[in-house]
Amino acid sequence: MRIDRRMTWLSALSLMCAAGIRDMVVPALDEGHQPKGTVMQSTQRLGGIGALIAAGTFVVGLAMFATMVMDFVTATDPSEAVAFIVNNQLALYVWNNVIHIVFGIALVPLVLAIGDRLRAAHSPLARVSSVFGLIWAGVIIATGMITNIAYATVSDLQGTDPEMASTVWASLDAVTNGLGGGNEVLGGIWVLGISIVALRERLFARWINYLGVVMGVSALLTIVPALEDVGAVFGLGLIVWFVAVGITLIKDHANSSQSSDHRESSAAISA
């Protein structure tokens, strides 16, 4: 019965996520039938939407952290964490899917859009940074999937073997924390690399690029265990950075579309 209920609301959550990213996926499927310029414009729009969704996942995640799951995150005893999981599965599943799976999915079109924007710079740093951005998205999604399974596993074990449930959770928590929470190296390399290139090529507003450099450096510092808390600076700063980049990409897409329509109209009149 518990598994059936879990699958029911997970299915509902999946439908919500699918609806949220529908505008990103459908245009992407049609790009192969569009002219190159239109493809570029569509990619920029998708990236802008992805950036705003990414910012939204951070805001929702922080709000849920402060109001619903703080006791879970700050628990030092695995048995306390397992007890919280058993009693708050729905909240934890929603929180995990938002901050990991939805965020990771939204990150992909953003990485591709910024990569296209930086392509004219012919910079090896831009290409390498984009690869790290895609790797980061994949790792974040994988972290969310592993965490979902961990919640289900320890919840089932708690009823039969509480000690084993605590042991399993301690092990899986170390894995997921190492992949998606304990350090921000992958995200830091991506943000820092593209910000350096964008600053040199003047592809975004200077303050956006400088903010990206600061966020990238702060993320790289989390590789030092004693500086792990610096990751909070990276997370908070990224909310502003995602919103700024998202608005820029969407505005530029709108301006490019208007310019294209004007050129087509002029060509039609001339003909």
For 55-113, what is each residue's pLDDT tens digit? 999 999 999 999 999 999 888 899 999 999 999 999 999 999 999 999 999 999 999 99
Q: Is position 220 within any domain?
A: no
Q: State the amino acid at position 270 in one-letter form.
A: S
Cα distance between residue 140 and residue 66, in whole Å = 21
Entry pTM: 0.79
Q: Which domain holds residue 95?
A: 39-183+245-253
Mean pLDDT score across all residues of the chain: 82
Q: Is position 207 within any domain?
A: no
| Structure token pair of residue 224 | 């030092």
| Structure token pair of residue 28 | 């992407």
Cα distance between residue 95 and residue 180, in whole Å = 14
Q: State the amino acid at position 99 in one-letter form.
A: I
Phi, psi of 166 (to 5 degrees): -65, -40
| Structure token pair of residue 105 | 């999915």
Total of domains in the chain: 1
Q: Is position 17 within any domain?
A: no
| Structure token pair of residue 211 | 């903010």
For 148-175, what is each residue's pLDDT tens digit? 999 999 999 998 999 999 999 999 988 8
Q: State the amino acid at position 150 in one-letter form.
A: A
Q: Is position 167 within any domain?
A: yes
Q: Is position 77 within any domain?
A: yes
Q: Is position 147 within any domain?
A: yes
Q: Is position 71 within any domain?
A: yes
Q: Is position 119 within any domain?
A: yes
Closest CA to 198 of 130, 134, 256: 130
Cα distance between residue 126 and residue 199, in whole Å = 12
Which of helix, strand or coil describes residue 164? helix
